A and B are shown apart, each in its own frame.
Chain A
Amino acid sequence: MKSILIAMLMAMTLPFGLATSARAGAGDVVVENAWSRASIGTSRPGAAYMDIRNAGDENVTLTGLRTDLAGMPEIHLTSTNEQGVSSMSPVGEIAIAPGETVALAPGGMHAMLMQLRRPMEEGETFPLTLLFSDGGEVTVEVPIRGIAARGPDD
């Protein structure tokens, strides 16, 4: 029953993601290797990672995120100073030149999912929409891996 529901949800969201590639600019953005970690309940923020590639020949600017999973999704950068102290801060806009790939990966940037509306369950997916300055949007289905996952497939 549950798997039928997931299949239906995916059938509804997948074409949506493809349909948004109508415009030039954001329309030429390809998102690959997306993954996230499962959460324990909803009190702790989640994080998602992916490669965002500009396959077109115009500059694009990523301005924000949207998802029904979290009340406050934001792109963050983790930085570690020379004393080894790590801190996290919102990144703001990210310009991606033609042919360039911006990686959200552990040790660098992540999509921070604050105010989770439901727990992130291992094995499920959630839709995450990337918003661009030209008004274009790209939606990806992000697989949820285990809490101890280290990448999209290990």
Chain B
Amino acid sequence: MRRRSFLGYGAAAFGVIGLTLIAGWWRVDGPGAPQAVGARPLPLTEMDFSLTDHEGRTVGPETLIGSPTIAFFGFTHCPDVCPTTLADISDWLDALGGDAEKLNVVFITVDPERDTVEAMAEYVDYFHPAIRGWTGTERQIARAVEGFRATYEKVPTDNGDYTMNHTASVFLFDALGRFVTTIDYHEPREFAVPKIRRAMNEEKAEGA
């Protein structure tokens, strides 16, 4: 009995040390590491993650190949940045008119704990119909964030709740999955829309 509890403590101690090491790795070298300024996302063809869209379909980076893509990270309990970004994107899509149909537009949650498939479905319903909401397991979300060279962090709030810090830039990829550029948080429409057009024309220019 005694021996077992010693073993138990030993295992617990190892567990704590292991977790500390993992936490250290996460912050220094892992996905939690601060990204060098200008770190480029991988091409979509080199990313590897599997998520579920707001209609319950299995999706991943391969889902996005074939059409240009607008992608960004957020969470539905976000009162300011995320509805602003979703509303801005909706506005840009309106400006693109019929061309908006040629785009993949994905909102990937960094808060899978609260953002279930149902929560995502309810939320994206209020914005432009082209916008898809993606969620999944903690691990798969982390892999997606890593592929985009983005970051996120859970932050406790005074009222015992939590909020998420996250990369607020909007990522643009061409139809071949190559990263084109980012649109900064709340960048005006007159800068954003030409960037999207550029992502849409990228592979056309090359094919010509």
Interface residues of A (CB under 8 A from B): 37, 40, 43-47, 71-72, 76, 78, 80, 82-88, 90, 106-107, 110, 112-115, 146-150
- A40-B123, A115-B159 are known contacts. Are A84 and B79 too (CB-CB below 8 A)? no
Q: Determine if B203 is an interface residue (Cβ-Cβ < 8 Å).
A: no
Least Cβ distance of B93 to chain A in Å? 11
In B73-108, the 8 Å CB interface with A consists of 76-77, 79-81, 83-84, 86-88, 90-91
Whether A86 lies near B77 (C-beta < 8 A) is no
Least Cβ distance of A30 to chain B in Å? 24
Q: Which A residue sits closest to B157, measured CB to CB? A: A114
- With a CB–CB cut-off of 8 A, which chain A residues contact B166? 85-86
Q: Interface residue count for B (Cβ, 8 Å)?
A: 36
Of A43, A84, A106, A107, chain B has the most CB atoms within 10 Å of the CB of A84
**A to B contact number (C-beta, < 8 Å):** 86
Least Cβ distance of B61 to chain A in Å? 20
CA distance A72 to B79 in the complex (A): 14
- 22 A–B contact pairs at CB < 8 A? A44-B77, A45-B77, A45-B79, A47-B80, A47-B83, A71-B159, A78-B81, A83-B151, A84-B182, A85-B151, A86-B166, A88-B165, A90-B158, A106-B80, A113-B79, A114-B159, A114-B161, A147-B83, A148-B90, A148-B126, A148-B127, A150-B87
- A40-B122, A148-B127 are known contacts. Are A84 and B81 too (CB-CB below 8 A)? no
Q: Looking at chain B's contact residues, is the secondary structure mostly helix, strand, loop, or mixed?
A: loop
Q: Determine if B184 is an interface residue (Cβ-Cβ < 8 Å).
A: yes
- With a CB–CB cut-off of 8 A, which chain A residues contact B88? 150
Whether A149 lies near B167 (C-beta < 8 A) is no
Q: Determine if B185 is an interface residue (Cβ-Cβ < 8 Å).
A: yes
Of B88, B166, B186, chain A has the most CB atoms within 10 Å of the CB of B186
In B150-188, the 8 Å CB interface with A consists of 150-151, 155, 157-159, 161, 163, 165-169, 182, 184-186
